[in-house]
Amino acid sequence: MIDDRHTQAPASEGLRVSLQRVSRFFKPEKPALFDVSLDIAPGEFLYVAGTSGAGKSTLLKLLHLSESPDTGTLCFNGHDVAGLTRKVVAVLRRSMGVVFQDFKLIEDLSVASNIALALEVRGASPAMIRWRVAEVLAEVGLNGKEKELAGALSGGEQQRVAIARAIAPNPQLILADEPTGSLDTYSANFVLDMLEKVNARGATVVVATHDRMLMAARPHRTVVLDAGRAVGISQNGDFRSRSERRKTNLEEAV
């Protein structure tokens, strides 16, 4: 068996993402995203905040190339990704890891098989897959659960498996859509710990969330969306929009 584990880089180099005046319309009168411009530096940890329907998931879908902008440009490392073939999109997605609120695990497959899937599509060797699956399972604290069916795990454990699947291929960009939405505080903190750990190794991480407590406890640059528009960008974890801040300042002054 050929062991190619030593050819793998232990850490990834983050992806630079740039959106220039990007809009996405599902209904002409109600844009899911409107005129959003945003630069995400390589290795950055960014929150995308906002209430339900603000456009967070649409933004993440654009970054994951599941949706295309109706207007504006989206660039990865300076390259416009408009009009790419499905094959190239698939290849680009291999540089990303995705984590969802509903985990998106294949419930009747084992934990190890779920994680292995992300490595198999990249053409990793069976030996490499076994080694890497064991490594990431240890990292997310699920040693010994390799053979259990994903559907039999608790919500917190399932999210750990989803994170293990996302980080297993050392992606350059991690996209997490409400990753803590259905978890208790302990599991939510664990998930954020993991995402920060991967970010510390160099990966760019984008987390969509409406959990203000979480963002306050772990401050990172935050872009706030409201009705599809970027209404505020905070460098210090203050996720409130400009209007909200003005209102708060006014209240404090009074």
Q: Considering beta carbons, is residue 157 or 177 the nearer one to other proteins?
A: 177
Q: How far is the CB of 31 from other proteins (least distance, A)?
A: 25
Strands 17-27 and 71-76: antiparallel
Q: Please give the structure tokens belonging to residue 53.
A: 């329907």
- The answer to whether 111 and 161 are in contact (CB under 8 A) is yes
* C-alpha span between 253 and 251 (Å, rounded): 5
x/- letters, 163..182, toward other proteins (CB under 8 A): --x--xxx------------
Q: How far is the CB of 124 from other proteins (least distance, A)?
A: 6
Helix ranges (H only) for the chain are 56-63, 86-93, 111-120, 126-139, 155-167, 185-200, 212-217, 242-253
125 is a contact residue toward other proteins (CB under 8 A): yes
Residue 33, beta-bridge partner list: 24
Q: Considering beta carbons, is residue 92 or 205 the nearer one to other proteins?
A: 92
Strands 229-234 and 79-80: unpaired
Give the binding range for other proteins (CB under 8 A) out of 2-10, 30-38, 182-190, 224-232. Answer: 2-10
Q: Considering beta carbons, is residue 36 or 128 the nearer one to other proteins?
A: 128
Q: How far is the CB of 164 from other proteins (least distance, A)?
A: 12
Please classify residue 212 by burial: count the beta carbons closer than 10 Å to its beta carbon, then call 0-12 exposed, 13-18 middle and 19+ buried: middle
Q: Please give the structure tokens belonging to residue 147.
A: 């053979």
Q: How far is the CB of 102 from other proteins (least distance, A)?
A: 10
Helix ranges (H only) for 201-241 are 212-217
Subset of residues 78 to 117 that bind other proteins, contact rule: CB under 8 A: 86-87, 90-94, 96, 98, 104-109, 114, 117
58 is a contact residue toward other proteins (CB under 8 A): no
Q: Considering beta carbons, is residue 94 or 212 the nearer one to other proteins?
A: 94
Residues contributing to the site for other proteins (CB under 8 A): 2, 4, 7-8, 64, 86-87, 90-94, 96, 98, 104-109, 114, 117-126, 128, 132, 165, 168-170
